[in-house]
């Protein structure tokens, strides 16, 4: 009888511990949220979005150039990473059922696990050293490398979900495989692929480490793609470790903008697109 | 005829682009290795086992950084592993159906927060809190231990370990949850049929069956912790010293690259930093491959029952 009681107590104890762990994790999440919103919201105004940073000692100013810079960097990385990622994914799902496919899949996983700072060094040796200047292009290249594995693997997964019968129906009508893949398979899986792309963008929007010695940062409006470029995360980092209260306030405001951007993208990809996409899973 | 021509072209084009990804990865290794050669040639194995870091005399030893990376990552695992396993067990086995999705979404949000925001919160939120609440407590009751000795200024190995643990909890918990869900239902039913309580069911059927997958999830978390840069750089204090106390400032491999790369004026200095990056690359590579193999073993093991 005693043994039975002990088992019941242990059961109760372990189950409540698991429950506790699950809700304990929400504490840092809520704390970060609370800090960013409460400290950031007071410094957010129109000036913050359209003005340049002010020199030390002058209050006011904003992160307009950093916000634009982040958007430019995202654009630059998307330009090359999305086509490469999607084509790679198409290869893996349509022709990748062989040794070469396994190698590509493995490499994508390896690339996904490479610390982002190491990718920064790679972009530095490939672009900054020969060009002899930090530049927006090198930053876009580094961020693109981080995006590719995510886009590639989600594209592959989504294309595999498209029923074989649909492909066979198209091929039976005498349509080329190229046309079938582009107009039918890719089109059916498009919402899922979009999810992958948005997730990849959400991931790189907040990346700082690979930009430290590629994009470098810039206190002025952007003039060209071969110049150093400002980015929101870089600016937050620079302000956070500075000794000035005014800059700390700006850093919080920047963090609020960044976190809203990132969460919005995760949210859209998870709820809006995933909802519309459900019909594929059930078929 | 025309169709066949288009199709072979299409296949070749996608293959070529897929190969670009492989080529880029190889180029990454090659570029890093060639740039690290001056440092490897001059310093040899001494680089990994000495702790002088003197850019002026060009004498570099990476030991304090390696120590910092290892200790901060293991500290993070020490905190994150039990908590993540608790979450995974709760989400996969115990939680009512309507809580599962929202809760797992919230845990995943923790992974979506940019690391620079973690760092900002670490400097102004976590570090003052640790200093005012946790550190006095630890010093009073556990101060006799060498790891809790000395002054605490907020930035330290301790703070870095805690921040890192928050950052790897989503990785470990979501992979473990997947692994738990891959355990065949017949295993659980067998345990229950023998009269097991629900904890005994989890321990015997779920945890027992998925042991290697959970290990894989933990190692995957370790891989993330080893390479994490910004948040750690902002709270670890950046001092290249090996100290027994967790309250002392430290330095990691990733943070030294982040802090000193743009200041590195001589080729030798740059080469030493790139060598640190190369070491970091190979360590995370090894860790990630081990983890993948372990997780893959469990999620692809279907014998002994019907997969859910």
Put simply, the answer to whether A36 touches B117 (Cβ < 8 Å) is yes
In chain A, residues with a C-beta closer than 8 Å to the C-beta of B261 are 120-121, 124, 212-213
Average pLDDT for B99-118? 92
Query: Which residue of chain B comes nearest to A174, CA vs CA?
Result: B3
Average pLDDT for A72-82? 96
pLDDT at A38: 95
Put simply, the answer to whether A148 touches B21 (Cβ < 8 Å) is yes
Q: Check pLDDT > 90 for residue B292.
A: no
What is the spatial distance between Cα A96 and Cα A103, in angstroms, rounded to a whole number? 9
User: Whose CA is closest to A143, among A228, A82, A225, A222?
Assistant: A82
Q: Check pLDDT > 80 for residue A94.
A: yes
In chain B, residues with a C-beta closer than 8 Å to the C-beta of A149 are 21
Q: Check pLDDT > 90 for residue B145.
A: no
Q: Check pLDDT > 50 for residue B285.
A: yes
Tell me if chain A has a CB within 8 Å of the CB of B280: yes
Q: Which residue has the higher pLDDT, A201 or B265?
A: A201
In chain B, residues with a C-beta closer than 8 Å to the C-beta of A83 are 17
**Among A45-54, A149-158, A196-205, B276-285, which is the least confidently predicted range?**
A45-54
Q: Check pLDDT > 80 for residue B77.
A: yes
* 0.85 surpassed by complex ipTM: yes
pLDDT at B35: 94
What is the spatial distance between Cα A140 and Cα A146, in angstroms, rounded to a whole number? 10
Mean pLDDT value across chain B: 91
pLDDT at A269: 80
Put simply, the answer to whether B86 touches A18 (Cβ < 8 Å) is yes
Q: Which residue has the higher pLDDT, A61 or B169?
A: B169
The region, left, alpha or beta by phi > 0 then psi within -120 to 50, assigned to residue B152 is beta
Tell me if chain B has a CB within 8 Å of the CB of A267: no
Average pLDDT for B90-117? 92
Tell me if chain A has a CB within 8 Å of the CB of B230: yes
pLDDT at A276: 60
pLDDT at A278: 57
Residues 6 or more apart whose Cβ sits within 8 Å of residue B160: B72, B75, B231, B232, B235, B236, B250, B252
CB A233 within 8 A of CB A141: no
pLDDT band (50, 70, 90) for residue B234 = very high
pLDDT at A274: 63
CB B32 within 8 A of CB A118: yes
**Among A143-152, B99-108, B119-128, which is the least confidently predicted range?**
B99-108
Tell me if chain B has a CB within 8 Å of the CB of A237: yes
pLDDT at B1: 62
Which of B18, B87, B291 to probe by mutation at the A interface, max A CB count within 10 Å? B18
Put simply, the answer to whether A233 touches B114 (Cβ < 8 Å) is yes
Query: Long-range contacts made by residues B134-138, C-beta under 8 angstroms, separation at least 24?
Result: B135/B247
Half-sphere exposure of A241 (CA within 13 A, CB side): 18
| Shortest CA gap A249–chain B (Å) | 11
Residues 6 or more apart whose Cβ sits within 8 Å of residue A109: A149, A153, B288, B292
What is the spatial distance between Cα A139 and Cα B28, in angstroms, rounded to a whole number? 15
Average pLDDT for B145-152? 86
CB B83 within 8 A of CB B169: yes
Within the 126-165 window of chain B, which residues sit less than 8 Å (CB to CB) from chain A?
none
DSSP output for A66-85 = HHHHHHHHHHHHHHHHHHHH
Tens digit of each residue's pLDDT (9 = 90 or more) over B157-178: 999 999 999 999 999 999 999 9
What is the spatial distance between Cα B45 and Cα A190, in angstroms, rounded to a whole number? 51
């Amino acid at each position: 009888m005693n043994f039975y009681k002990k088992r019941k107590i242990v059961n109760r104890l372990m189950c409540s511990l698991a429950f506790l762990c699950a809700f304990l994790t929400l504490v840092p999440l809520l704390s970060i949220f609370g800090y960013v919103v409460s400290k950031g919201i007071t410094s957010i105004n129109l000036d913050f979005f359209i003005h340049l940073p002010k020199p030390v000692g002058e209050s006011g100013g904003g992160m307009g150039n950093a916000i634009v810079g982040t958007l430019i960097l995202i654009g630059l990385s998307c330009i090359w990473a999305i086509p490469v990622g999607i084509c790679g994914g198409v290869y893996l799902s349509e022709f990748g059922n062989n040794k070469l496919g396994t190698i590509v899949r493995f490499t994508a996983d390896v690339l996904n696990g490479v610390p982002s700072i190491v990718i920064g060094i790679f972009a530095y040796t490939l672009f900054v050293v020969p060009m002899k200047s930090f530049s927006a292009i090198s930053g876009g290249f580094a961020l693109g490398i981080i995006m590719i594995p995510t886009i590639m693997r989600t594209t592959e997964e989504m294309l595999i979900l498209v029923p074989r019968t649909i492909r066979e129906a198209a091929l039976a009508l005498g349509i080329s495989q190229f046309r079938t893949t582009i107009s039918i398979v890719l089109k059916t899986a498009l919402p899922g692929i979009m999810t992958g792309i948005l997730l990849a963008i959400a991931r790189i929007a907040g990346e700082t480490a690979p930009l430290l010695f590629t994009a470098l940062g810039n206190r002025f409006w952007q003039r060209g793609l071969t110049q150093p470029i400002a980015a929101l995360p870089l600016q937050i980092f620079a302000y956070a470790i500075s000794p000035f209260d005014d800059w700390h306030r700006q850093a919080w405001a920047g963090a609020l903008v960044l976190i809203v951007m990132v969460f919005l993208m995760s949210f859209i990809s998870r709820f809006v697109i995933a909802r519309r996409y459900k019909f594929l899973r059930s078929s | 005829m025309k169709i066949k021509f288009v199709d072979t072209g299409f296949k070749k084009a996608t293959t070529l682009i897929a190969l670009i990804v492989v080529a880029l990865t190889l180029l990454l290794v090659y570029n890093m290795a060639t740039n690290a050669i001056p440092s490897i040639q001059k310093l040899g194995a001494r680089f990994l086992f000495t702790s002088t870091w003197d850019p002026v005399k060009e004498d570099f030893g990476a030991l304090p950084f390696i120590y910092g990376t290892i200790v901060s990552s293991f500290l993070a695992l020490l905190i994150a592993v039990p908590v993540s396993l608790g979450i995974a067990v709760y989400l996969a086995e115990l939680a009512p159906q309507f809580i599962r999705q929202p809760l797992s979404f919230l845990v995943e949000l923790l992974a979506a927060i940019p690391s620079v925001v973690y760092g900002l919160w670490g400097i102004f939120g976590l570090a003052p809190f640790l200093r005012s609440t946790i550190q006095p407590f630890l010093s009073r009751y556990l101060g006799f231990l060498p790891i809790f000795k000395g002054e605490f200024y907020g930035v330290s190995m301790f703070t870095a370990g805690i921040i890192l643990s928050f950052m790897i909890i989503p990785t470990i918990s979501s992979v473990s949850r997947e692994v738990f869900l891959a355990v065949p239902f017949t295993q659980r039913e067998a345990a229950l049929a023998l009269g097991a309580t629900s904890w005994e069911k989890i321990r015997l059927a779920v945890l027992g069956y998925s042991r290697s997958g959970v290990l894989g999830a933990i190692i995957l978390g370790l891989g993330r912790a080893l390479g994490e840069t910004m948040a750690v750089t902002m709270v670890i204090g950046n001092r290249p010293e090996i100290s027994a106390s967790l309250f002392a400032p430290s330095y990691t491999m990733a943070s030294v690259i982040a802090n000193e790369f743009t200041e590195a004026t001589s080729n030798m200095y740059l080469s030493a930093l790139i060598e640190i990056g190369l070491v970091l690359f190979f360590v995370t590579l090894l860790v990630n491959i081990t983890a993948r193999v372990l997780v893959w073993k469990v999620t692809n093991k279907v014998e002994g029952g019907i997969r859910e």
